[in-house]
Amino acid sequence: MKEAAWAVSNILAGTQPQIQRAIDSGVLVHLLHVLATEDIKCQKEAAWAITNLCLGGTPEQLDSLISAGFLEPYCQLLSAPDHRAISVVLDGLTNLLQAAVKYGQVEALCLRLEEIGALDQIENLQQHENESIYKKVLHILDNYFAEQDDPNAQPTQTEDEYQFGTAGNHNINF
């Protein structure tokens, strides 16, 4: 199973048409099955495959991945005893978050990560002994989950509406 997941990982590191052929063949269901095994070596190879797809996939391919239900079992590897598995998942989440920013879906993705408990797992990894993991966690938290200390982030009330502190016609009006 490990070798098969490794082969899929190489395919998903390929071109977008190659990725699409793999998705069309039903490979995502098999990757989810591998993530559900108890063998960390197999799980790590499946995580590599997903991380590769998160890096090179189109928005539609990323949608297919999320629709397949990969997010929860993938993020469960954040509590794996193998620091390399954790690192691979953090890389994949970073790739996915970068794509979410590019396609205007970062808030929805961050909310979903919070709902499934992944944000808590990421925050707990700030205490990890591996410095590389710590740096990856810090990058994710600082860039995608940072608390807003901006006073303009709080709405101010005018006579008829609330306005957020943006200039011009870009205000969000209630």
Question: Has residue 155 been placed in a domain?
Answer: no
Whether 164 is in a domain gets the answer: no
Residue 167 maps to a domain: no
- Residue 60: pLDDT band (50, 70, 90) is very high
Is the residue at 40 inside a domain? yes
Q: What is the mean pLDDT of the chain?
A: 86
Establish if 174 belongs to a structural domain: no
Percent of the chain whose pLDDT exceeds 70 = 84
* Residue 170 located in a structural domain: no
Is residue 131 a part of any domain in this protein?
yes
Domain total of the chain: 1
Q: Any idea what the CATH number is for the domain that residue 86 is in?
A: 1.25.10.10
**pLDDT value of position 147:** 66
Residue 38's pLDDT band, with cuts at 50, 70 and 90, is confident
DSSP-assigned states of every residue in the chain: -HHHHHHHHHHHTS-HHHHHHHHHTTHHHHHHHHHTSS-HHHHHHHHHHHHHHHHH--HHHHHHHHHTT-HHHHHHGGG-S-HHHHHHHHHHHHHHHHHHHHTT-HHHHHHHHHHTTHHHHHHHGGG-S-HHHHHHHHHHHHHHS-----GGGS-EE-SS-EE-S--GGG----
Range of the domain at 115: 2-147
pTM of the model: 0.81
